[in-house]
Structure 1
Amino acid sequence: MTSRAEGDMESGEGVSNLRSSVFKDWCGQFLSCNPWMARYVYGLMFLAANLLAWAARDYGHGPLTELERFKGCHGAKYCFGTEGVLRVSLGCFTFFIIMFLSTMGTKKLHVARDLWHSGWWSIKIILLISLTAIPFLIPSSFILLYGEIAHFGAGVFLLIQLISVISFIIWLKDCCELDKYSEKCHIHVMLLAMTAYLVCIVGIILMYIWYVPEPSCLLNIFFITWTLVLLQLMTSVSLHPKVNGGFLTPGLMGLYIVFICWCAIRSEPAGDRCNRKAEASNHTDWLTIISFVIALLAMVIATFSTGIDSQCFQFRKNDSKSEDDVPYGYGFFHLVFATGAMYFAMLLIGWNTHHPMKKWTIDVGWTSTWVRVVNEWLAVCVYLWMLVAPMLWKCREFGGIP
């Protein structure tokens, strides 16, 4: 009986090894099955979708008017561009949702779902092109409904990105506090924290100079001053004796919220007297084009970097990994890109399906401004919770005794 069981086990291992070798052979026929290289291919596909959506918005008015399905626009000047963006976004979203459903839960390399994620590129490119073309045959009412749903999907993307950024900052702090790095990193941590605070203060001063030309610019004064208050609040909580978080994490978080505040004010519509920088964007010049390209690439890079950071969303941390484990969560990776497809649509239409967007502009409008501001406040709330939560759990663990 024992020898028979051993023989069954050996035969099972032989079948498993045979399958693995077959999958490896198939990988060689379809470009590469390297999951790390696959990330860049998906990133390029996502960038291509972004560029196509931008082209549909700024230069697709002529070709899109030829489609009978667009009669619902009733000749509105900006309707075709907005719907073009949403249709491209819907195609990209559908592609990555299909990839999410077909790869989530993948644990091991050299299995069918790993092969599908890291190979078969010719089929997936054809699939993406087809899914991008199909929405152009869908009635406008359904596309506008997708545009409303995309607001929530884009919000989910911002939340995922926010948690990923905060987790990275806290991981960096914990890494520097390890015993083997503590002495070596102490000076570097202090220099980095001081630099972060200095850049924050300089950024706040510059925003006052650029965006508060008159005392009547109360909204901009509120945005900038409140950002300074939030920076002070994060620092005070981090330095509390029971938290003992140090200067590094609030300094880096300060950089993040100052950047979001700057993006929020930059999103104010052109022509506002309190936003002279926006007034300069009325004329398309090389600086406007460069700013647009940088913003587009930054959005793609943010989606790419967030997609591979599935560790911070795992409730159970598994430090022990075997060689045949997948290097990152495939399902999470595609889910981030799916919500990112909704996010880039919102940026290109200013978070408003009835909002006119000028050429070579991105994320402009009062809706965009308030989305950024709320994102900044939410970032501070999540960061403070991540600082205070361990202390609260410890108190509860010991029966409420601090």
Structure 2
Amino acid sequence: MENGANSNTGNESCTILKDCSWFSQFRNASNPWMARYVYGLIFLVANLLAWAARDYARGALIEMERLEGCDGGRDCLGAEGVLRVSFGCFIFFITMFFSTAGTCKLKEPRDSWHSGWWTVKLVLWAVMAIFPFLLPSGLIQLYGEIAHFGAGVFLLIQLVSIISFITWLNDWCVSEKYADRCQIHVLLFATTAYVICLVGIILMYIWYAPQPSCLLNIFFITWTLVLLQLMTNVSLHPKVNGGILTPGLMGLYVVFLCWCAVRSEPDGENCVRKSDPTAKTDWLSIISFIVGILAIVIATFSTGIDSKCFQFKKDDTPPAEDDVPYGYGFFHLVFATGAMYFAMLLIGWNTNSHHVMRKWTIDVGWTSTWVRIVNEWLAVCVYLWMLVAPIIWKSRQANAT
């Protein structure tokens, strides 16, 4: 009876955990799919700590006075506090990058290190989060300058990942297997994308270019419309024959980047609708901030598992059962550069220790505006190159023969 009772108890425990084998795999460091969520949670906590250091660290000033690198707490608040938290997050993920890069098979020691040993790694992360607060201000400022480059690398990786996904989706829809079935869906999605793009451009004219004197915003928005038309024309050219879906989806992306750019313009601009700086933070600002933080985490998480988009030679060979499901090194590299990226967003790309950002704001400032605009233009250039590059290579091969 006792054995039966124990068996029933064990079954009930399995039911509660839903899958005992799944729990055992995760505990024993053989579930890399679940591990990525833990890393995403660590990254989210780092974002929240950086935000707290920027907006709500005044209450911790007495404790910070005890840390050598804080100079009485003055160098651990505001922009510099964000950089210190970001630096700790960067050190953790770059350490994980060097310790897991090149992992190919499951059950390797590096696979176990990536997917398990959570007690050790959480202690390691806590130590690395505290360590930057012991460093002098000069080193943190140097990291801030390097972080500009790292954040740019993150944006480039994200850009390639997005274009790769759009291209894959289009290839899947026009493949022989799904072409007939997806023809109406492709037309519907493309039409919807173009309608959203046009509505977004009209709304940007209304909200961010209400006066003829708003020349810069009028230029940004109009040029976005021109780029949308250019991508469509090139994609529909008979020699390219790229279809209408990819330029429509890319149009959504570039319109979104244009909106982010004009929205990032600082307070005091007549061409941007802003709330009264002396008024209390409204719910819209809080919601926008929360959505912005979540967007950073989700973008980093989704980009980190997309290492295949950077393979120069596509390998159609199906993966073996013991192959790792995604590139561990690339995953941690994306999170490391993402740590630099969220720092730049929280301080408006301005590493000046005296630079002050309003509470519940993110990615605000002229530097943020131009970063978004350049990212938009670069996205269009990369997309157009991906369309015309095969034609150029074929032409060169034909001339060579």
Cross-structure match for 2:11? none
Cross-structure match for 2:105? 108
Query: CA 1:68 to 1:32, structure 2 compared with 1: closer, same or farther past 3 Å?
Result: closer
Contact 2:25 2:31 in 1 (8 A): no
Query: CA 1:247 to 1:217, structure 2 compared with 1: closer, same or farther past 3 Å?
Result: same
User: Using the alignment, how far apart are the partners of 2:261 and 2:243 within structure 1?
Assistant: 28
Equivalent residue pairs, number = 374
What letter matches 2:330 in structure 1?
F
Query: CA 1:50 to 1:43, structure 2 compared with 1: closer, same or farther past 3 Å?
Result: same
User: Which consecutive residues of structure 2, in runs of 5 or more, have no partner in the other structure?
Assistant: 1-20
Cross-structure match for 1:47? 44
Query: CA 1:400 to 1:189, structure 2 compared with 1: closer, same or farther past 3 Å?
Result: farther
Residue from 292, 295, 298 that aligns with 1:295: 292
Cross-structure match for 1:379? 379
Report the aligned-residue RMSD.
2.0
User: Residue 321 of structure 1: CA displacement?
Assistant: 1.2
Cross-structure match for 1:144? 141
Contact 1:104 1:330 in 2 (8 A): yes
Contact 1:166 1:383 in 2 (8 A): yes
User: Using the alignment, how far apart are the partners of 1:305 and 1:368 within structure 2?
Assistant: 23
Query: CA 1:277 to 1:31, structure 2 compared with 1: closer, same or farther past 3 Å?
Result: farther
Give per-residue Cα distances to partners, 1:200-224, cap 9 Å, x unaligned: 0000000000011111000100000
What letter matches 1:394 in structure 2?
K
Give per-residue Cα distances to partners, 1:34-68, cap 9 Å, x unaligned: 01101101000000000000001101134246245
User: Using the alignment, how far apart are the partners of 2:205 and 2:266 within structure 1?
Assistant: 18
Cross-structure match for 1:263? 260
Query: CA 1:128 to 1:68, structure 2 compared with 1: closer, same or farther past 3 Å?
Result: closer
Contact 2:201 2:255 in 1 (8 A): yes
Cross-structure match for 1:312? 309
User: Using the alignment, how far apart are the partners of 1:281 and 1:133 within structure 2?
Assistant: 34
Matches within 5 A, 1:262-281: 262-277=259-274
Matches within 5 A, 1:287-366: 287-319=284-316, 320-354=318-352, 355-366=355-366
Contact 1:72 1:140 in 2 (8 A): no
Query: CA 1:196 to 1:278, structure 2 compared with 1: closer, same or farther past 3 Å?
Result: farther
What letter matches 2:173 in structure 1?
C
Give per-residue Cα distances to partners, 1:274-314, cap 9 Å, x unaligned: 00146589640111111100010011000000000001101
Give per-residue Cα distances to partners, 1:61-106, cap 9 Å, x unaligned: 3424624533399x69xx7211111011001000000100010110
What letter matches 2:44 in structure 1?
L
Query: CA 1:31 to 1:88, structure 2 compared with 1: closer, same or farther past 3 Å?
Result: farther
Contact 2:88 2:128 in 1 (8 A): yes
User: Using the alignment, how far apart are the partners of 1:400 and 1:323 within structure 2?
Assistant: 42
Contact 1:210 1:277 in 2 (8 A): no
User: Using the alignment, how far apart are the partners of 2:368 and 2:28 within structure 1?
Assistant: 41
**Equivalent position SS for 1:243:** coil
What is the identity percentage for the equivalent residue pairs of Structure 1 and Structure 2? Answer: 72
